[in-house]
Chain A
Amino acid sequence: MTEIAAGQRLRSQACGTEVIVVRAPDQPVELTCGGSPMTAEPAAAGAAARPKPAAGGGGGGGAQLGKRYLDEPTGLELLCTKPGSEVPAADGRALTLKAARPLPASD
């Protein structure tokens, strides 16, 4: 099981999804995406084996660019930095889309 720390960048082995860890989980979890563990390896490694990233903002069912995903039980929070067809899961629980906070533009 990979240690998950805030600021860490993780990639799906099954699709184009890439995330950055915003908040680490309060207990160790197995982080997967499309059924395979997410890893810190650069995108170049094994890229050929992966399907192409979903185009555009990753609408529909996949992970969407710039959206945040939450695992309520552990507090794990991820920011999607590259969209893909699959949404990450923690110990098999699919992460949920975090609702945007309606803050006014202050700068």
Chain B
Amino acid sequence: MAASGHPDRVAVGRLRSTAADAAPLSYPDLLARARAGAVALRERGATELVYLGVSGNAFAQALFASAWAGIPLVPLNYRLGRDQLAELLGRHAGALVVSDLEPPARGPVLTTGAWDALCARPAADADPWRDDQDATAILLYTSGTTSAPKAAVLRHRHLTSYLLGSVEFGAADETHAMLVSVPPYHIAGVSNLLSNVYAGRRIVYLESFTPEGWLESVRDEGVTHALLVPTMLARLTEHLAGPDGHLAGPHAAAVPTLRNLAYGGAKMPAPVLERATRLFPAVDFVNAYGLTETSSTIAVLGPDDHRAALSGDPVAKARLGSVGKLLPGIEAQVRAPDGAVMPEGGIGDVFVRGDQVSGEYRGTASAVDADGWLATRDRGWIDDEGYLFIEGRADDTIIRGGENLAPAEIEDVLLDHPAVAEAAVVGIPDEQWGQDIAAVIVPRAGHAADAGELQAWVRSRLRSAKTPAVIVFRDSLPHTPTGKLLRREVLADLLANP
């Protein structure tokens, strides 16, 4: 459809670069390469295609070639250690592996250059396209912040439903370009490729994020849309404004073509968002919330909500802490621990339902119940106009003396303190309370932080039951590559080095 609808547009690639993996490919080029890639997969008898590399043309070709060949694509994290990689590759024995890392695979391996060359061959003998909505399109490992990684199964019908529910075909105009700096093994790396091809919006990949590289790409490539995870936006705002909030120069933050900035993937700290909206006043901000298991985005907080908050409307300002409203095809329920559905405004476990919700993992029973509901394992609540607020992972909840406490609320207060650059709040075992609150603080450069002062800061803004009993200082916090805090590592470090 994209090839016949926009035969002259560039689908992926840079217009001002000579890098081979960023050469501009039109939609008909991409279609031809998907067919040729499918032939290469068929010739090798591959039952899966493992993509272990960075974002680029090779990834876009891998996604569409595996779909054409009717086999699953398995994007793997190129930052994994050799042992973990060998273990994961062992689960995909029949796969062709595309990687430049000389991976510990038993089956055939191609470099991204060799894969690209195969996709560039003529593909006259490609099989015709076969519709199979039930076939597995993607096996995507969850980030595993609280447990070992599991492969989520996303079928064509899940991804199709996501696209039809969230994107209009050809919605982009021909000058639009999306700068993507999330890796292929993140659900947003998969979903943005589908959405932007469907919308007719050129994709520009940024292999590895730096604030300088991002700004340069936006300016050189005339980027209109961008997608960032919170840690990237935090680094960008720090780079532009510095620790004191002063711009390096009047044009330091100039991004004249940028009009839409979507963020998601982890909780956005309120101070970072506020700084970003002031640095880029002309840009529309969009918060997208979703899980790997829900084929990406299920709720969106749009530009109007962001602007209303900036104008000082107190209700809108509070909603800036929400993830917005559900997409049209999605329903949500908030449930109490006994399973009863909570009334409006009640805090509990968030369940979602819809055609894009998979909830299926390879090798285990589906996590979706008989009525189609999936436990997101996030805690949250829904306000009177349907805005969904996410307070954090259910597994992260601290239960102190029978009271449920969300780390995010305490972290937000700590982050408002001028001496705090990063904060992580976790529950530690306590004889009296069952669990008590501990905070790990990364101090801001040039500021001295004091535990007693931070405790008083939290106590005066929340209350004593939410005040950390223990505050320790560290140089950095452990994160996944996409910016999710690894709480189990924070806790392990705390218990080992109190």
Q: Which A residues are closer than 8 A to B by beta carbons?
A: 6-7, 9, 22, 57, 65-68, 79, 81-82, 100-101, 103-107
Contact = CB atoms under 8 A, between A and B. Distances in A.
A7 B300 contact: no
B191 A107 contact: yes
Given A57-B5, A65-B5, A104 B302 contact: yes
A62 to B, nearest CB: 14
Interface in B29-64: none
A106 B300 contact: yes
A103 B326 CA distance: 11
Contacts of A65: 1, 4-5, 169-170
In the complex, the 7 A-B pairs of residues with the closest C-beta atoms, listed nearest first: A66-B169, A106-B288, A7-B133, A107-B192, A100-B168, A104-B302, A104-B286
Interface centre among A9, A67, A106 (most CB of B within 10 A): A106
Contacts of A107: 188, 191-192, 195-196, 227, 262, 264, 288, 296-297
Interface string B1-35: 10011000000000000000000000000000000
Contacts of B196: 107
B312 interface: no
Contacts of A22: 164
B92 interface: no
Nearest to A18: B1
Given A82-B4, A106-B166, A101 B300 contact: no
Interface residues on B, range: 35 or more
Interface of B: 1, 4-5, 131, 133, 157, 160, 164, 166-171, 178, 188, 191-192, 195-196, 199, 201, 225, 227, 260, 262, 264, 284, 286, 288, 296-297, 300, 302-303, 327-328
Given A67-B169, A79-B164, A106 B297 contact: yes
Given A7-B131, A66-B1, A105 B260 contact: yes
21 contacts: A7-B160, A57-B5, A66-B5, A66-B169, A79-B164, A82-B4, A103-B167, A104-B300, A105-B195, A105-B201, A105-B225, A105-B262, A105-B286, A106-B166, A106-B195, A106-B262, A106-B264, A107-B195, A107-B196, A107-B227, A107-B264
Contacts of B195: 105-107
A104 B170 contact: no
A68 B164 CA distance: 10
A107 B193 CA distance: 9
A104 B199 CA distance: 12
Nearest to B284: A104
A100 B160 CA distance: 17
Interface centre among A67, A82, A107 (most CB of B within 10 A): A107
